């Protein structure tokens, strides 16, 4: 089922016809409309979960097969040199660099976001040994909260959970003298709110602290200017908007000015200055390479490398404009057609990432019913319907189809059916 039946008739259907026409006009005039053809998307489905698992680029299956059959199968251990497997983490990092606004040698791809956050937070906290407080936003992604607590425990520091809005007051009330490291997500995974990276970073720096930004829900959809904001460290996810595939490795950014002062805690051999000397004592490699720990997951890493080609030639400002146009249309259409559902995501363009979150008391069942109608979003506790708008491949007409499906689900009471009782393991 690609479009929902219209059950309300009358003026409602007229408004909806107008919305579809508006969407078709926007798609026809969209300078990035050709990008969707770079992806394999299931026929008849509206995929709005690209902020959870990005879609599969058309060229990736053949590239993965080449890596498996030729590099692994035929060239075997010689591939470390022949196909430069050894430097792949830095090489793929250099591709991520443009998406996050840093130089090619300031990013390395390794491990998961959670692990990179641990490495970056310990490294940053060690650079501020006389300051006690680590700041994180309440409601941040679970790993981010847990890792901050673990780092505080390990290094005998203290955690304060502060909303960005609470930060200026807290700094003025004495936090400024104690702030070691502040870590926030650029875009809130639940609400889709985009935080003011430049202003928050400047406030932390003015107090003498360092910052670690989590870009998991922004990079690849929202232009990120880490260098412009003077950010110290950042981490982010490879499998959401970057489309690297399930479990793709993550990345970690260290500003060049800090790199040779960094002591990260996972001192594995691939981050050593002379890995093949096999020395008994650890000595960190110069530059970003010291953020590596053990061997990279090459099949996933090279799939991510191939996937990142979907960004080739893509103007990131235009991509952002497209993302905002999609989310604006979604919000407008929800307001008009499903007014009983609350839009949680900020309406101001500058404060919105590339997803729209809607609040509904039976959000989980609504999401399941939408999926059964071919509109794939996801549910987040306690009552949020998340609709991700990956600007590389979501179209304006998809937004209209999704909102029409939502209207139809609610009109028919599909979400009240007993077949949607308990959340799945992965929601």
Other beta carbons within 10 angstroms of residue 332's beta carbon come to 16
Hey, what are 306's tokens?
């191939």
**Residue 141 in contact with ligand PLP, rule: CB under 6 A:** yes
Q: Distance (Å, rounded) from C-alpha 23 to C-alpha 305?
A: 33
Nearer to ligand PLP by Cβ, of 196 and 411: the residue is: 196
Task: Kindly state whether residue 23 participates in binding ligand PLP, applying the rule CB under 6 A.
Answer: no
CB 114 to ligand PLP: min, Å: 3
Q: Which of 45, 143, 270, 427 binds ligand PLP (CB under 6 A)?
A: 143
Q: Which residues, at least 6 apart from 32, have a Cβ–Cβ distance to it below 8 Å?
A: 314, 318, 319, 322, 391, 392
Cβ 262 vs Cβ 206: under 8 Å? no
Binding span for ligand PLP by CB under 6 A among 14-22, 106-114, 298-306, 355-363: 106-114
Contact of 15 with 416, CB cutoff 8 Å: no
Q: How long a stretch of residues is the chain?
A: 427
* Residue 188 lies near ligand PLP (rule: CB under 6 A): no
Nearer to ligand PLP, 141 or 333 (CB): 141
For residue 375, what are its two tokens? 């509109």
Which of 214, 232, 305, 398 binds ligand PLP (CB under 6 A)? It is 214
Q: Which is nearer to ligand PLP, 144 or 398 (CB)?
A: 144
Nearer to ligand PLP, 195 or 395 (CB): 195
113 belongs to the binding site for ligand PLP (CB under 6 A): yes
Nearest partner of 327 among 366, 358, 361, judged by Cα: 358
Query: Residue 288 is encoded by which pair of tokens?
Result: 């970003």
**Binder to ligand PLP among 39, 118, 189, 379 (CB under 6 A)?**
189
Q: Binding marks (x or -) toward ligand PLP, 155..174, rule CB under 6 A?
A: --------------------
Q: Is 114 in the site for ligand PLP (CB under 6 A)?
A: yes
CB closer to ligand PLP, 54 vs 284: 54
The least CB distance from residue 308 to ligand PLP, in Å, is: 17
Instruction: Give the C-alpha separation, 144 to 193, whole Å.
Output: 17
Query: Where in the sequence numbering do the catalytic residues fall?
Result: 141, 214, 239-240, 386
The answer to whether 216 contacts ligand PLP (rule: CB under 6 A) is: yes
Q: How far is the CB of 229 from ligand PLP (least distance, A)?
A: 18
CB 216 within 8 A of CB 99: no
DSSP, collapsed to helix, strand or coil, labels residue 251 as strand
Closest to 232 (Cα-Cα) out of 216, 208, 250: 208
Place of tokens 């200017």: 225
Q: Which range touches ligand PLP (CB under 6 A), out of 7-15, 213-221, 278-286, 379-387?
A: 213-221
Is residue 112 at the binding interface for ligand PLP, with CB under 6 A as the rule? Answer: yes
Sign, CA torsion 180/142/195/197: positive
Judged by CB under 6 A, the number of residues near ligand PLP is 13
Rg (CA), the chain: 23
The answer to whether 259 contacts ligand PLP (rule: CB under 6 A) is no
Among residues 56, 76, 58, 59, which one has the least CA distance to residue 68? 76
Cis peptide preceding 382, ω within 30 of 0: yes
250 is a contact residue toward ligand PLP (CB under 6 A): yes
Q: With respect to ligand PLP, which residue has the nearer C-beta, 170 or 252?
A: 252
Q: Which is nearer to ligand PLP, 19 or 344 (CB)?
A: 344
In the bound state with ligand PLP, the residue whose beta carbon lies nearer, of 71 and 345, is 345
Site stretch for ligand PLP (CB under 6 A), options 170-178, 212-220, 315-323, 331-339:
212-220
From the list 38-46, 209-217, 347-355, 415-423, the region that binds ligand PLP by CB under 6 A is: 209-217
CB 383 within 8 A of CB 361: yes
DSSP string, 270-282: GGBSSGGG--SS-
Stretch that binds ligand PLP, among 28-36, 95-103, 138-146, 193-201 (CB under 6 A): 138-146
Which listed residue (30, 106, 137, 144) binds ligand PLP by CB under 6 A? 144
DSSP state string for 10-58: HHHHHHHHHHHHHHHHHHHT-TTGGGGGGEE--TT-EE--TTTSPPEET
Binding site for ligand PLP (CB under 6 A): 112-114, 141, 143-144, 185, 189, 214, 216-217, 237, 250
């Amino acid at each position: 089922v690609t479009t929902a039946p219209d059950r309300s008739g009358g003026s409602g259907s007229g408004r909806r016809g107008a919305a579809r026409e508006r969407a078709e006009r926007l798609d026809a005039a969209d300078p990035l409309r050709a990008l969707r053809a770079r992806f394999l998307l299931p026929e008849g489905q509206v995929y709005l979960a690209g902020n959870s698992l990005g879609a599969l680029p058309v060229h990736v299956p053949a590239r993965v097969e080449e890596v498996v059959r030729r590099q692994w199968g035929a060239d075997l251990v010689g591939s470390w040199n022949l196909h430069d497997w050894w430097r792949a983490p830095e090489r793929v990092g250099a591709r991520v660099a443009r998406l996050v606004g840093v130089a090619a040698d300031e990013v390395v791809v390794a491990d998961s976001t959670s692990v990179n956050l641990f490495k970056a937070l310990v490294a940053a906290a060690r650079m501020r040994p006389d300051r006690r407080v680590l700041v994180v936003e309440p409601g941040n992604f679970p790993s981010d909260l847990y890792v901050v607590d673990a780092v505080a425990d390990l290094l005998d520091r203290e955690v304060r959970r502060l909303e960005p809005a609470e930060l200026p007051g807290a700094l003025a009330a004495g936090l400024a003298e104690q702030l070691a490291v502040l870590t926030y997500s650029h875009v809130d995974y639940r609400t889709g709110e985009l935080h003011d990276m430049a202003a928050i970073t400047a406030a932390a720096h003015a107090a003498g602290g360092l910052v670690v930004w989590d870009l998991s829900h922004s990079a690849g959809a929202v232009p990120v200017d880490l260098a412009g904001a003077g950010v110290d460290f950042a981490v982010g996810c490879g499998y959401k908007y970057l489309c690297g595939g399930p479990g793709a490795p993550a990345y970690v950014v260290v500003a060049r000015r800090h790199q040779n002062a960094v002591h990260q805690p996972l001192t594995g051999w691939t981050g050593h200055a002379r890995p093949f000397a096999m020395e008994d004592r650890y000595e960190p490699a110069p530059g970003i390479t010291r953020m590596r720990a053990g061997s990279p997951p090459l099949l996933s890493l090279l799939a991510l490398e191939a996937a990142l080609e979907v960004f080739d030639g893509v103007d990131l400002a235009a991509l952002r404009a497209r993302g905002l146009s999609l989310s604006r249309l979604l919000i407008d259409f929800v307001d008009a057609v499903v007014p009983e559902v609350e839009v949680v995501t900020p309406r101001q363009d500058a404060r919105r990432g590339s997803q729209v979150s809607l609040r509904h008391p039976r959000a989980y069942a609504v999401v399941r019913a939408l999926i059964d109608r071919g509109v794939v979003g996801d549910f987040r506790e306690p009552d949020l319907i998340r609709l991700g708008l990956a600007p590389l491949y979501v179209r304006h007409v998809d937004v209209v189809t999704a909102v029409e499906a939502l209207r139809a689900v609610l009109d028919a009471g599909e979400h009240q059916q007993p077949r949607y009782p308990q959340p799945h393991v992965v929601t």
